[in-house]
C-alpha cells in the first residue's frame, strides 16, 4: 500500500504520508477474547482506538492464548494498522510476551520450551513489567534467562514518584537490551500514554527485527494519581473474572494499595 490512488480507502493515503516515519507501536494489549481477565472491549474496538491514536502497529496479547488474527488483519490493514501476532504466556509462573511467533507460542510452559521455540523461529520475546511487585512478574528469572529476552517493557503504569520500571530499564541498559513502551491495555482509555517508536518497514517481521536490533525509542508520560485511581477503581469493581486457584495464590502479592483505598493489580 504505497500509492494513494482514487478509489482507495482514505486510510491508504494516511499510510502513504507516513512512509519513512518512525512507526508508533503497542505490544501489550488484552481484549474480550482474554481467557483470564474480563475485558469489555472487542478486538475491533481496540483496533479502531489504535487507529484514532495514530498507531501503526499493535499486538493483541491475551493471557495464555494467541488470538487468531486472520479475520482481523484485513480490517486492520484497511485502516493502515499492522497486527503483530502475540500472547502473554505464563512461563513457570511468570508473564512473558511472545511476539510474532507463527506457531508453538501457546505450548511454551517452561523456559526450556521457550529456548526451543526461539531456536526454531525468529520471534520477539519481551519481559513485561519485570520488576513490578507481583509474583507473576519475572524478577530474578529475567537475569537467570537473560539470553531468551530481546527487550524489556516500560509499563505505562508509573507516576512521577512511584516507578517500578526503573529496575528493569537499568537491567536492560546493563545487558544491552532495548526497552519498549507498552500500556498493558485492559481498558481502551489506557492506550496511548506510553508507546514505542520503531524505525522499521510496515510489517510485523521488520518491526520485531528492528526492536531486537535496538531501533526503538520509548515515548510517554507518567500517569496522574487520578488515572491510577481510575484503573484501581476498575479493578475494584470487578475487572477480573472470578478468581481461579492460580490467580488466588497471586492475589495478595499482586496488589498495590493506592491512596484512595483502592487496590491496583498488575496482570
Ligand atoms: Zn498483560
Ligand atoms: Zn502481565
User: Domain of 163: which CATH number?
Assistant: 3.20.20.140
Mark whether 143 and 205 lie in a shared domain. Answer: yes
Mark whether 71 and 117 lie in a shared domain. Answer: yes
Confidence of residue 234 (pLDDT cuts 50, 70, 90): confident
Mark whether 242 and 194 lie in a shared domain. Answer: no
Ligand closest to Cα of 62 equals 1
Mark whether 201 and 255 lie in a shared domain. Answer: no
Mark whether 123 and 229 lie in a shared domain. Answer: no
pLDDT tens sequence across 115-154:
999 999 999 999 999 999 989 999 999 999 999 999 999 9
How much distance in Å is there from the Cα of 108 to the middle of ligand 1? 17
Task: Please state whether beta strands 23-26 and 194-198 pair in parallel, antiparallel, or not at all (unpaired).
Answer: antiparallel
Neighbouring CB atoms inside 10 A of 46's CB total 23
Scanning the structure block, which residue is given the C-alpha cell 510474532? 100
How much distance in Å is there from the Cα of 157 to the middle of ligand 1? 12
Mark whether 63 and 181 lie in a shared domain. Answer: yes
Contact assessment for residue 46 and residue 183, using Cβ atoms and an 8 Å cutoff: no
Q: What percentage of the chain reaches a pLDDT higher than 70?
A: 80
What does residue 95 show for φ and ψ, rounded to 5 degrees? -80, 135
Mark whether 162 and 198 lie in a shared domain. Answer: yes
What pLDDT does residue 233 have?
78
Cell numbers at 168, concatenated:
528493569
Mark whether 118 and 69 lie in a shared domain. Answer: yes
Cβ neighbors of 23 (< 8 A, separation 6 or more) are: 56, 57, 82, 197, 198, 199, 200, 202, 207
Q: For Cα atoms 88, 166, 156, give the angle at the middle one, nearest 5 degrees.
A: 50
Domain end marker among 185, 201, 220 = 220
Neighbouring CB atoms inside 10 A of 19's CB total 10
Coil/strand/helix, residue 231: helix
- Considering only CA atoms, which of 12, 25, 6 is closest in space to residue 191? 25
pLDDT tens sequence across 35-94:
999 999 999 999 999 999 999 999 999 999 999 999 999 999 999 999 999 999 999 999
Ligand 1 ion: Cβ-proximal residues, 5 Å cutoff: 88, 184
Mark whether 260 and 165 lie in a shared domain. Answer: no
pLDDT of 251 strictly over 80: no
Environment class of 119 (CB within 10 Å of its CB; exposed 0-12, middle 13-18, buried 19+): exposed
How much distance in Å is there from the Cα of 185 to the middle of ligand 1? 7
- Total domains in the chain come to 2
Quote the CA–CA distance of 229 and 232 in Å, as a whole number. 5
* Domain span holding position 93: 2-220
How much distance in Å is there from the Cα of 116 to the middle of ligand 2? 22
How much distance in Å is there from the Cα of 28 to the middle of ligand 2? 9
Mark whether 214 and 258 lie in a shared domain. Answer: no
Mark whether 34 and 69 lie in a shared domain. Answer: yes
Q: For Cα atoms 131, 191, 263, give the angle at the middle one, nearest 5 degrees.
A: 50
Quote the CA–CA distance of 86 and 62 in Å, as a whole number. 8
Ligand closest to Cα of 61 equals 1
Mark whether 109 and 194 lie in a shared domain. Answer: yes
Note the pTM of the prediction, 2 decimals: 0.84
How much distance in Å is there from the Cα of 97 to the middle of ligand 1? 8
Amino acid at each position: 500500500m504505497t500509492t494513494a490512488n482514487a478509489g482507495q480507502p482514505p486510510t491508504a493515503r494516511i499510510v502513504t504520508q507516513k512512509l519513512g516515519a518512525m512507526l508508533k507501536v503497542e505490544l501489550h494489549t488484552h481484549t474480550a477474547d482474554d481467557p483470564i481477565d474480563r475485558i469489555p472491549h472487542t478486538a475491533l474496538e481496540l483496533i479502531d482506538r489504535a487507529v484514532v491514536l495514530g498507531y501503526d502497529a499493535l499486538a493483541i496479547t491475551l493471557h495464555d492464548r494467541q488470538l487468531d488474527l486472520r479475520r482481523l488483519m484485513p480490517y486492520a490493514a484497511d485502516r493502515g494498522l499492522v497486527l503483530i501476532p502475540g500472547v502473554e504466556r505464563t512461563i513457570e509462573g511468570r508473564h512473558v510476551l511472545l511476539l510474532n511467533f507463527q506457531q508453538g507460542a501457546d505450548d511454551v510452559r517452561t523456559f526450556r520450551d521457550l529456548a526451543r521455540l526461539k531456536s526454531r523461529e525468529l520471534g520477539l520475546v519481551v519481559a513485561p513489567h519485570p520488576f513490578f511487585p507481583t509474583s507473576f512478574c519475572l524478577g530474578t528469572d529475567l537475569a537467570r534467562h537473560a539470553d531468551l529476552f530481546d527487550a524489556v517493557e516500560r509499563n505505562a503504569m508509573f507516576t512521577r514518584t512511584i516507578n517500578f520500571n526503573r529496575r528493569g530499564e537499568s537491567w536492560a541498559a546493563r545487558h544491552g537490551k532495548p526497552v519498549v513502551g507498552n500500556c498493558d491495555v485492559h481498558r481502551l482509555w489506557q492506550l496511548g500514554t506510553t508507546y514505542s517508536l520503531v524505525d522499521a518497514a510496515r510489517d510485523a517481521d521488520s518491526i520485531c527485527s528492528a526492536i531486537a536490533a535496538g531501533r526503538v525509542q520509548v515515548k510517554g508520560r507518567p500517569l496522574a494519581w487520578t488515572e491510577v485511581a481510575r484503573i484501581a477503581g476498575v479493578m475494584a469493581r470487578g475487572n477480573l473474572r472470578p478468581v481461579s486457584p492460580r490467580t488466588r495464590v497471586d492475589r495478595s502479592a499482586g496488589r498495590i494499595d493506592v491512596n484512595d483505598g483502592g487496590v491496583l493489580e498488575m496482570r
